[in-house]
Amino acid sequence: MSLFKKSKIEQNTPRLAPWKIAIIDDEEGVHEVTKLTLRKFSFEKRGVEFLSAHSGEEGLALLKANPDIALAFVDVVMETDDAGLKLVDAIRNDLKNHVTRLILRTGQPGQAPEEDVIRRYDINDYKAKTELSSLKLKSCVYTAIRSYRDIQTIEKGKRGMEDVLKSSSSVLASQSLAQFGTAVLKQTLTLLNLNNSVLYLSTQHTDLYGDTSMTVLGASGDLIGLCEPGISTRIPESIEEEVKSVLANKAHFQSDNVFIGYYPTGEDSHNILYIKLDQPLDDMQRKTLEMFASNVAVIFQNLTQKEDIQKTQKELIMVLSDAIEMRSKETGGHVRRVILMTEFLAEKLHMSKEFIETIRYSAALHDVGKISIPETILHKPGKLDPDEWEIMKTHAQKGYELLADSDRIVAKMGAIIAKTHHERWDGKGYPDGLAGDNIPVEGRIMAIVDVVDALLSKRCYKPAWSVDEVKAYLKENAGKQFDPLITHVMLEHFDRILEIRATEPDEDE
């Protein structure tokens, strides 16, 4: 094996652009000596590229064409005695370039007094050509380029902050969280001089059913497409596997070309920073990134919840608009009532806050499958015949199928409620004949709420039952049709159920 073979990291590391140094002087010898002295100059693994001009006019054209020049050596006396001074004035005032570092050099120090020149002109140094030895020349170049780098970072930071502020207004206007996240990430990368790296933040959340999801909150570099509207946010499989490994180990991971930071934000959620590296992070960069992930991510988490609710509302509007359109006016208040009743029962059963918030919206989806039932059956006066009843029962499975493909938690619970709210505690229900605790609790809650509201309401096929008749029915069917514990809670707070019905009456009541 050759001793001179490059390592894999060296082969994959992109070559950094050189620092541009302009030499503006009418003496060709000055150009040659400057280039010879600085030919091996390197700062932060970047070499130098020399650009030459031999007059003030040529120098101005050079700066206009190359605004990214880091340092310009400018001779005072060229085509005129003050050509260099006029060039400096034009660079700062006409070109509005206040970033390039300017070092005036003169072979006749007395002709342009140093104090007067420094006071009147926006320059960074003023040297007599005779005093610029090789060591001093390199020293002033180090100082100038370091200053240029810092100014560039500040300028990029200002532009980045403008992007953050602009995107913040978009978020507050209920637009794009990803836009905000990406702007903040770009700002962080700029401040850390990681402009060639790729970084994105994702959040993992495990919901009530044990399913987990990754949400891209911000991206840069070759992963920026993950945050663009209309483009899939599916994380590349290779990255997803690395992130899963970090989640399993619950610890940071760093190699020569990647850093993955692990930051838990709660019992069931985590923030991940994934960065492709040109070189390993130093301590300052790691601490800054940790501060970013631990603090800014909290903002992301809150904004994500807001965006999640907005997406859920959109899905519900789409589903319910079709369902309600096909339902009869006589059940217009039914959906609103079961929402309030299920929320109330979930609270009395001491369910989690997330469960209560979810069932509050999911309850509206319990009969969505009825959009597939013919009007002749759905609104038939009197009892359905056996064939019609079999068709009517399909609405439970149809409702589940409508919602099952969604990964939104409200739709997921809605699918379960739609399918199981006609199951019975004794196993004689439909569509699957589940019994007891095998019926999901949300289905058991909806089963009793749906029946109670239906019995207390007038329908095209029956008159409304009295309160006493409904209570007697519940007592008789506790442990048969209904969960006995939920039935007990329902009966214990039946007055509240009646209050809810009074606030959301049907149109003909």
What's the distance, CA 250 to chain centroid?
Answer: 21
Question: What are the residues facing 276 on neighbouring strands?
Answer: 198, 258
Catalytic residue annotation:
370
DSSP of 3-65, one letter per residue? TTPPPHHHHHSPPPPPEEEEEE-S-HHHHHHHHHHHTT--BTTB-EEEEEESSHHHHHHHHHH
The amino acid that residue 134 corresponds to is S
Among 26, 41, 36, CA closest to 106: 26
| 178 neighbors 230 (Cβ within 8 angstroms) | no
What whole-number distance in Å separates Cα of residue 325 and Cα of residue 343? 25
Handedness of CA 276, 279, 284, 286 (dihedral sign): positive
> At residue 355, what is the residue type?
F
For residue 98, how many other CB atoms are within 10 A of its CB? 12
Rounded Cα distance between 475 and 487, Å, is: 8
**Radius of gyration of the chain, Cα coordinates, nearest whole angstrom:** 36
Q: Is there a contact between 181 and 218 (Cβ–Cβ < 8 Å)?
A: yes
Q: SS3 breakdown of the chain: % helix, strand, coil, rounded to 5?
A: 55, 15, 30
| Cβ-proximal residues to 185 (8 Å cutoff; 6+ apart), any chain | 199, 200, 201, 218, 219, 220
- Residue 433 is classified by DSSP as -
Q: Which two tokens stand for residue 311?
A: 């997406």
3-state secondary structure 464-503: CCCHHHHHHHHHHHECCCECHHHHHHHHHCHHHHHHHHHH
3-state secondary structure at position 118:
helix
CB-CB contact of 190 with 157 (8 Å): yes
Contact 103, 74 (CB under 8 A): yes
